[in-house]
Structure 1
Amino acid sequence: MSLYFEEESDIRLSIDCEKTAREVIDAALDYENFPYEAEVEILLTDNEAIQELNREYRDIDRPTDVLSFPMISYDKAGDFSILESEEDCFNPETGEAVLGNIVISKEKVLAQAQEYGHSVLREYAFLIAHSMLHLMGYDHMEEEERLVMEAKQKEILEKLGISR
């Protein structure tokens, strides 16, 4: 798995962000039985930058905790058979499936950890697990989809020993 990790802004989280990202990404890929090596990009930023991305890509003029930019369109969430016939889903230099980008607001991680009464580690790991599921085709627009994603997120974090 290749992780392209970038951190901007002076805000710091009290955890090893890159190491944690690798662990959560690997756990999510294993949990979903993703059949290929994968490439993921993560940007840690602040509320101002994520608000700008929200405005540009989603017509939402406010900061959110996380944004996911999947590079693959799935017919069915978690069904990776489509990749067999989609050569453009793979990085020609590495052969890895290019899953997409994750952008996280460090300010939101800190605020939500405090608001929900759990650790910064748990909040950060949760956001990555959530985004990884988006990058593998899952969504939460419908109630049934939301319940599926919540269960998967919880199980991924439990496998890592990260709980509320």
Structure 2
Amino acid sequence: MTLNIDKEYLGELGFDYEKIAKEVVEAALDFEKCPYEAEVSLVLTTDEEIRKTNAEFRKIDRVTDVLSFPMLDFDTPGDFSFLEEEEDAFHPDTGELILGDIMIAVGRMREQAETYGHGEVREYAFLIAHSMLHLMGYDHMEPNEAAVMEKKQEEILEELGILRK
């Protein structure tokens, strides 16, 4: 698995953000039984930069906690079987499945950790697990979809021992 991390946010995070990100990405891939080695990119950025990106790509001019940019269109979330026909879904040099990009606003992440009464590590890990599910075709536009995502996110974090405190 390749995890490319671009830390645009200039401040310190106060925890090993690379290690935690790798653990959560791997746990999400394992949880969904992804049969391929995968590549994911993670950008840690400012609230202002994520606001600009949100406005550009989603036409929503406000800060958000996380944005996900999937590279694949899944007919069925978490069903990787269609990829055998999709040569361009794999990195030409490494052969890894290119899942997509995750962008996290560190300031918003910190605010939410405080608001929800748990640590920053837990919020960070939650946002990555949430985005990984988006990269694997899940969404939360309908109540039943949201319930599925919420359950999977919690189970991924529980497996890692990253719990609400």
TM-score grouping bracket, smaller chain normalisation? over 0.9
Q: What SS does the aligned partner of 1:94 have?
A: coil
| 1:109/1:120 contact within 8 Å kept | yes
| 1:13/1:110 contact within 8 Å kept | no
Aligned position for 2:143: 143
Q: What SS does the aligned partner of 1:104 have?
A: strand
Aligned position for 2:53: 53
Which amino acid is the alignment partner of residue 66 of structure 1? V
Q: What SS does the aligned partner of 1:6 have?
A: strand
Aligned position for 1:159: 159
Q: Distance in 1 between matches of 2:134 and 2:94?
A: 23
Matches within 5 A, 1:12-31: 12-31=12-31
**Deviation at residue 79 of structure 1 after TM alignment:** 0.6
% of aligned pairs identical? 60
**Deviation at residue 109 of structure 1 after TM alignment:** 1.0
The alignment's C-alpha RMSD in Å is: 0.6
Aligned position for 2:125: 125
The TM-score with structure 2 as length reference comes to: 0.98
Q: Distance in 2 between matches of 1:104 and 1:9?
A: 10
Gaps in structure 2 of 5+ consecutive residues = none
Which string of whole-angstrom CA distances, capped at 9 and with x for unpartnered residues, describes residues 91-124 of structure 1?
0100000000000000011100000000000000
Aligned position for 2:115: 115
Which amino acid is the alignment partner of residue 100 of structure 1? G
| 1:7/1:43 contact within 8 Å kept | yes
Q: Distance in 2 between matches of 1:105 and 1:74?
A: 26
Which amino acid is the alignment partner of residue 147 of structure 2? L
**Deviation at residue 13 of structure 1 after TM alignment:** 1.6
Which amino acid is the alignment partner of residue 153 of structure 1? Q
Q: How many residues align?
A: 164
Moved runs in structure 1, 4+ residues, more than 6 A?
none
Which amino acid is the alignment partner of residue 34 of structure 1? C
The TM-score with structure 1 as length reference comes to: 0.99
